[in-house]
Structure 1
Amino acid sequence: MTKTYRYIELNNEITAMKDGFYQLEKDAEAVAEFLRFVADNSMRFGSVISRIQYMVDNGYYYPEVLTQYTPEQITEIHRQAEAAGLSFASYMAASKYYTDYAVKTRDKKTFLESPAERYAIAALYLAQGDYEMARELLWGYVHGVQPATPTFLNAGKARRGEMVSCFLTEVDDSLNAINHAVGVATQLSKIGGGVAINVSKLRGRGESIKEEEGVAKGIMPVLKLMEDGFSYADQMG
């Protein structure tokens, strides 16, 4: 039997009309209930440094963080991130972060990273040992300057994709070119990039091929190939 969590029930109750109104207050209840679930399923550490050491030793964080900064600097960056009092405006925001961004144990059952900790390690990684730059980056993050999605997702991880957002490629009108474009697109997706593809060179559906009329399949079969490729090469979900 599938277990139903209370925060999911609360989220579903938002659109259940009551006295002619949506129950928007249920969203705040869902956030609180979900964060209790996260707290109950998060790993505890005695200190910032013991957590960082664990993350490095177990292959979650890049090891150089322990040599690029002093323990005091790492601890202070985390203190500043925690002091910012980051919170979630909606259940969907909280769910999105902990589902797609937060580092979890490899069995996906235990959370290893809060939003403040994700910002802290991202700032430390991108500053590459420059403590003052790390402080400036963190200041921007906690005041609303959100890094690009692949940057926020990958910065600081030992096993990570590229920290760039978008790629543009195109497809020429031949089977070899189509196969090449599908391969390139899935490789870019694997490393965390968003991919835009110009398909305007492909013949439209019903056009001729080698003087045979009405045989071209158009762009939709090619797009379906790419969609399947993206679904498969999704950076481990």
Structure 2
Amino acid sequence: MAEDDRKNPVRLGYLAQDNLRVTIDIAEFNAKAGPGLAALTALLSSGVAGHAPAPDDRRAFLVGWGLVAALHRQACAVVLLHDSGLGHEAAPNRRLMIEYVAHLQWLVRDGDAAVDSMNKAFQYKHTGLRKAADAGGYQYDANAADAVRDAIIPSNPSDEFNIMSKLLDRLGGGLLQSWLAETQLSHASLPAAQCFYRESGQAVQLFDVPTYNLDGDPMDASPYVAFFFLYFGMIAFNELMADGPWRSDLRSIGEVAGLAGAI
């Protein structure tokens, strides 16, 4: 395995998942997800603030914590929807989990440059929000809006990764393909609509639950997918903490969940 592959936990994770699909059925996958998620939740509650870097080197850590905390809640939402028979409807949540993992990986690779680029993207989007608010006659704090508008944020090579497809393509490991697949069901699109009807000659079938031209339900693995992305997001966040305190625990959790060698 190439040196770059050994350093990329997301890529390693996807290789492991691909192998598991061959040897383990979905029920076995999901049986590992519950204990795995519980163990990851315990880590997130284990006093992370005590592992913050020094104040002058803390920006990536703080942004990373916001992302990994949100990632955890998305994992919980995916499992809850799946348990309610709404795994199909969890596509936007799974898609967002991929984005959170990608941004955590970006912070690990580019540090403060990634934070600056995220700020630049926020400034651009905030301008559009302000224009829309003005057009609609909505009220807002003009001083705060002016501060965002007037902030000087130098450009840097990391800026291009504010485009999600470029970031995912850079990270590799199947992230771009997974994100594009989830996107098909995350918007009002023809693929999303076509899950609810079939037409053959003069016959029309209409469904009130999603159907796929596949053997089985591809959404059945949602709990393991939720665990999988939270796991790799937390591997990335561990690199943003001062002393990487989770390494041993994450290794043990991965081994139990079928991801031995991911860290």
TM-score, normalised relative to structure 2: 0.27
Instruction: Decide which structure has greater helix share.
Output: 2
Question: Which protein has the larger Cα radius of gyration, Structure 1 or Structure 2?
Answer: 1
TM-score, normalised relative to structure 1: 0.28
